Amino acid sequence: MKGRARGAESVIVTKNEILTALNRPDCFILALVEVDGEQTTTHYVTRPFKREPDFGATSVTYSLQQLLSKGAIPE
Q: What pLDDT sits at residue 75?
A: 74
41-68 pLDDT per residue, tens:
999 999 999 999 999 999 999 999 999 9
> How far apart are alpha carbons 16 and 14 in whole angstroms?
5
What's the whole-model pTM score? 0.86
Cβ atoms of 32 and 43 closer than 8 Å:
yes
Residue from 15, 12, 74, 75 nearest 44 by CA: 74
